């Protein structure tokens, strides 16, 4: 995605935030021969894959050195860069957008900071979205990267609860406040919030989860390995063949795992995360060792 503040979003660009946006983008793929996508996060890459499958030429611009670098790190993010290039995407990383070109009320390309220009029949912007916290701020609630809540989804006002993308909720597993932008939170968090409203001792402690499908690559990710949340990463399998599991560890504990084109293991990964048990890194990396046999002992004292 472009560096913050490098350009102003003009009219005529497309986004993917609502069902109507999805329909509009789908219709664009039937008329456009080339599209420009700004941002190589999950949304940008999923849209790029859909466009290529529809036979549309695609250019993707990303400010970071690799797509998904801040999420997956330097060992795994190249998998997604290679995947899209193998499918014909012109992926340009480490670039900044200076301005968008607009003609007849429609975005028709972009000028980069180095002066180069890219033309397109449509421009799709996927650079993230900030949570809408204005109402919470006006109500005097604590706001910090979303509406801050405890584990029961209760805000700083005990009579008000928040759930979904807007909630920066304390999660017992990482022992930190996290905000997960995925429909799974919006689906499951209200149950915990409703129970807490009814006076029950409720806590939202589901292992964070999301997934993506791009071309012939399917991936599930469980856990949380945010900034400072892990100190090593282990690969099991063959990343070059897009069949592997990546594990993020804090000390000897698995805090997150991502299975790529390897199925029926996500629940086991979640169990490893939830147990907090120490694991043997060598056994964790060995595909011949069942995941259920990589733990070496009991969870550390105080682990959730």
Please write the tens of the pLDDT for every residue from 166-209.
Answer: 999 999 999 999 999 888 899 999 999 999 999 999 999 999 99
DSSP code at position 280:
-
Which segments of the chain have a pLDDT < 70? Answer: 1-11, 297-304
3-class SS of residue 1: coil
Residue whose entry in the numeric block shows the structure tokens 């022992």: 175
| DSSP classification of residue 33 | S
- For 134-197, CATH gives 3.50.50.60
Q: Where in the chain is the domain with CATH 3.50.50.60?
A: 19-125, 134-197
Report domain 19-125's class. Answer: alpha beta
pTM: 0.88
pLDDT tens across 129-145, in order?
899 999 999 999 999 99
Could you name the CATH architecture of 209-293?
A: 2-Layer Sandwich (3.30)
Nearest CA among 12, 4, 184 for reference residue 107: 12
Q: For strands 122-125 and 34-38, give the pairing.
A: parallel
Cβ neighbours around 17 below 10 Å, total: 10
What mean pLDDT, rounded, does the chain reach?
A: 92
Closest CA to 12 of 108, 99, 97: 108
Q: What are phi and psi of 189, to 5 degrees?
A: -60, -40
Residues forming CATH 3.30.390.30 domain(s) in the chain = 209-293
CA dist list (Å): 69 to 110, 203, 227, 250, 296: 23, 31, 12, 19, 31
């Amino acid at each position: 995605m472009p560096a913050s503040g490098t350009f102003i979003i003009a009219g005529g660009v497309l986004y993917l935030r609502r069902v109507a946006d999805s329909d509009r983008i789908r219709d664009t793929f039937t008329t456009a021969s080339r599209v420009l996508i700004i941002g190589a996060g999950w949304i940008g890459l999923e849209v790029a894959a859909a466009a290529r499958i529809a036979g549309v030429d695609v250019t993707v611009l990303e400010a970071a050195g690799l797509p998904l670098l801040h999420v997956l790190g330097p060992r795994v993010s190249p998998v997604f860069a290679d995947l899209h290039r193998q499918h014909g995407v012109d992926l340009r990383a480490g670039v900044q957008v200076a301005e968008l070109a607009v003609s007849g009320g429609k975005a028709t390309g972009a000028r980069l900071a180095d002066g180069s220009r890219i033309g397109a029949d449509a421009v799709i912007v996927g650079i993230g979205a900030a949570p809408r916290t204005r109402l919470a701020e006006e109500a005097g609630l604590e706001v910090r990267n979303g509406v801050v809540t405890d584990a029961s989804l209760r805000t700083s006002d005990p009579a008000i609860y928040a759930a979904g993308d807007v909630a920066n909720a304390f999660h017992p597993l990482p022992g930190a406040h996290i905000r997960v932008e995925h429909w799974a939170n919006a689906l499951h968090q209200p149950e915990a919030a409703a129970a807490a409203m009814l006076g029950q001792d409720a806590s939202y402690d589901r292992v964070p989860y999301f997934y993506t499908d791009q071309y012939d690559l399917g991936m599930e990710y469980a856990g949380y390995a945010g900034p400072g949340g892990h100190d090593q990463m282990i690969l099991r399998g063959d990343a070059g063949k897009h069949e592997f599991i990546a594990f993020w560890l804090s000390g000897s504990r698995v805090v997150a795992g991502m299975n790529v084109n390897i199925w029926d293991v996500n629940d086991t990964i979640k169990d490893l995360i939830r147990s907090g048990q120490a694991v043997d890194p060598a056994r964790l990396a060995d595909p011949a060792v069942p995941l259920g046999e990589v733990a070496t002992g009991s969870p550390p004292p105080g682990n959730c």
